[in-house]
Every structure is written in structure tokens, then in C-alpha cells.
């Protein structure tokens, strides 16, 4: 069959679509649960805020009885940890959404990398900046932020649609010399 301009265009269009499909997600820091560690993404600079008065230890955790962050029936409590075990938890097979709110206290200037493994969606914000947006189920994603010593408004939103539930949030920084670890309770505050 001779290659005409029209048939070449169809082949080129198909190859372009195939290349786009193959590369879908290229450049994003993520991996499947069994994959290798995600690549570190572009670093975002976030500025600390003035210290509010009367801060208490821990974060506020609001639990909604659906995956849409709406009531009625939501409950609010205080917690000193973020996340829950992926192998055994109260959210498995339930539609639920969780919102952790408060402040993250950073003790040393540096670049911090946050890692979230979640099933299903999760988003971590410092101030108005989204550091990690894990919109896919059963993924691990990382976000990098350049931070100075101080306080940062923190919001972590988690949704479980149905089936398995998982939320593991860790961080690391070259300035602290520590490996991946959960954020310590002493660094989580709320008003």
C-alpha cells in the first residue's frame, strides 16, 4: 500500500497518541505500592506565619461520614498523629473523608520532602501551597518544600471511596540528618 499524505497523517496521529499514552504521568513523583521510590519533585518555597496565641499540642481531626468532606454527622477530635496503618484500620470498606488541620512547627531551615502513601486520595497543604497531591489510589507521591524555622498552617485531606484504606505520611530533610519518619507530635499544633 503506498503511503499517501493522508495515511501518513493517520499513522503519525496514532503514534503521537501512543506516545502520549505511554508518557502519561511522566515527570510526576509517584509510584505504585510495589514500585521503586518516587523521584523528588520541584521544590516549592513556603513562608512561615506569625505565631498565633494559645496554641495547643496536636491537630484537629474532622471525620466525615462520606468521601466529600460534608456533614451531617461529622465528628471533630484532637490527635497527635497523622495517618493510620494501611493493613488494619477502622476505615476499610467505608466511604469516609478526614481533614487534619493545625500548624506544622519547623525547627531548622532547610528543604523538606513529604511522602504520602494513600488509598484513596490525599492532599497536603502548607499555607496556600499544595505540597503533595495524591489524586490516585494506592500511590506514593512526594512533594518538596523549602522551609525556614517557624510555623506553617497545615491541612491534610484524605478520602476513602470504598475498599482498602491507607494513609501514611512521612518526611525527611538533609538539614535534620534524619531519614524518613512520621512528623513528631511535638511539631503538630492547633488553636
- Taking the mean position of all CA atoms in its chain, how far away is CA 148? 20
Q: Which long-range contacts does 22-28 make (Cβ < 8 Å, 24+ apart)?
A: 28/141
Q: Which position has the higher pLDDT, 22 or 111?
A: 111
Structural domain boundaries enclosing 104: 5-190
Average pLDDT over residues 139-147: 93
CA 87/CA 33 separation, integer angstroms: 13
CA 114/CA 29 separation, integer angstroms: 11
Average pLDDT over residues 84-105: 95
Percent of the chain surpassing pLDDT 90? 67
Is 186 a residue whose pLDDT tops 70? yes
Average pLDDT over residues 103-114: 96
pLDDT confidence tier of residue 37, bands split at 50, 70 and 90: low
Q: What is the pLDDT of residue 17?
A: 36
Percent of the chain surpassing pLDDT 70? 77
Chain mean pLDDT for the chain: 82
Q: How many domains does the chain have?
A: 1
Is 60 a residue whose pLDDT tops 60? yes
Q: Which CATH number characterizes residue 62's domain?
A: 2.60.120.1560
CA 91/CA 110 separation, integer angstroms: 35
Q: What is the pLDDT of residue 2?
A: 45
Average pLDDT over residues 162-187: 90
- Taking the mean position of all CA atoms in its chain, how far away is CA 58? 19
pLDDT confidence tier of residue 116, bands split at 50, 70 and 90: very high
Is 39 a residue whose pLDDT tops 90? no
Amino acid at each position: 500500500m503506498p503511503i499517501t499524505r493522508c495515511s501518513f497523517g493517520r499513522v503519525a496521529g496514532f503514534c503521537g497518541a501512543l506516545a502520549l499514552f505511554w508518557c502519561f504521568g511522566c515527570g510526576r513523583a509517584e509510584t505504585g505500592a510495589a514500585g521503586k521510590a518516587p523521584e523528588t519533585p520541584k521544590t516549592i518555597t513556603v513562608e512561615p506565619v506569625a505565631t498565633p496565641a494559645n496554641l495547643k499540642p496536636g491537630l484537629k481531626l474532622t471525620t466525615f461520614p462520606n468521601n466529600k468532606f460534608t456533614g451531617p454527622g461529622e465528628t471533630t477530635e484532637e490527635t497527635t498523629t497523622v495517618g493510620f496503618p494501611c493493613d488494619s484500620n477502622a476505615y476499610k470498606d467505608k466511604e469516609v473523608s478526614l481533614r487534619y488541620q493545625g500548624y506544622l512547627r519547623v525547627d531548622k531551615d532547610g528543604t523538606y520532602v513529604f511522602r504520602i502513601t494513600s488509598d484513596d486520595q490525599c492532599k497536603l497543604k502548607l499555607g496556600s501551597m499544595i505540597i503533595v497531591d495524591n489524586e490516585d489510589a494506592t500511590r506514593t507521591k512526594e512533594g518538596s518544600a523549602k522551609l525556614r524555622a517557624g510555623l506553617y498552617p497545615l491541612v491534610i485531606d484524605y478520602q476513602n471511596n470504598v475498599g482498602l484504606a491507607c494513609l501514611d505520611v512521612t518526611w525527611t530533610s538533609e538539614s535534620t540528618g534524619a531519614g524518613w519518619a512520621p512528623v513528631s507530635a511535638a511539631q503538630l499544633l492547633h488553636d
